[in-house]
């Protein structure tokens, strides 16, 4: 329904603005009066649009050109699956796990399972 109304109103306004007055259509007379305002309006609109586009470009460059100066480091000896722990480090970890095992309240079965896991590693 909207499209039909729009087509009817557009056609009527086109016909009315096409009526000649003094060998020129009404549209030309209206355009003479409105041209300075519309020229200013469009020029300010395009200037602001250019400024916004430039701001967006600068923001995009900043966003995607971030360079990480510092490198993330893993502070343990286990930085990959292939690398093996040093024997000294392995003993230290086992001692800590055994201390935790003795300090916490585990059942006897849980303690045995945990001990097996510690010994296997």
- Summarised one tens digit per residue, pLDDT across range 39-60 is 999 999 999 999 999 999 988 8
Give me the pLDDT at residue 118, please. Answer: 76
- The domain segmentation of the chain, as residue ranges, is 23-64, 87-120
% the chain with pLDDT above 70 = 76
**11 or 116, which is more confident?**
11
- Kindly report the three-state secondary structure assignment for every residue of the chain: CHHHHHHHHHHHHHHHHHCEECCEEHHHHHHHHHHHHHHHHHHHHHHHHHHHHHHHHHHHHHHHCCCCCCCCCCCCCCCCCCCCCCHHHHHHHHHHHHHHHHHCCCCHHHHHHHHHHHHHC
Give me the pLDDT at residue 111, please. Answer: 75
Which whole number is the average pLDDT over 89-111? 73
71 — pLDDT class (breaks 50, 70, 90): low
């Amino acid at each position: 329904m909207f499209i039909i109304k729009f087509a009817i109103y557009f056609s009527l306004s086109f016909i009315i603005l096409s009526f000649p007055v003094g060998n020129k259509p009404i549209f030309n007379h209206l355009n003479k009066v409105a041209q300075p305002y519309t020229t200013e309006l469009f020029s300010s609109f395009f200037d602001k649009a250019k400024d916004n586009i430039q701001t967006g470009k600068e923001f995009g460059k900043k966003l995607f050109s971030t360079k990480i100066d510092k490198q993330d480091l893993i502070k343990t000896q286990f930085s990959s699956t292939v690398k093996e722990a040093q024997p000294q480090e392995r003993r230290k970890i086992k001692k800590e796990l055994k201390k935790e095992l003795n300090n916490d309240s585990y059942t006897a079965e849980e303690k045995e399972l945990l001990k097996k896991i510690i010994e296997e590693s």
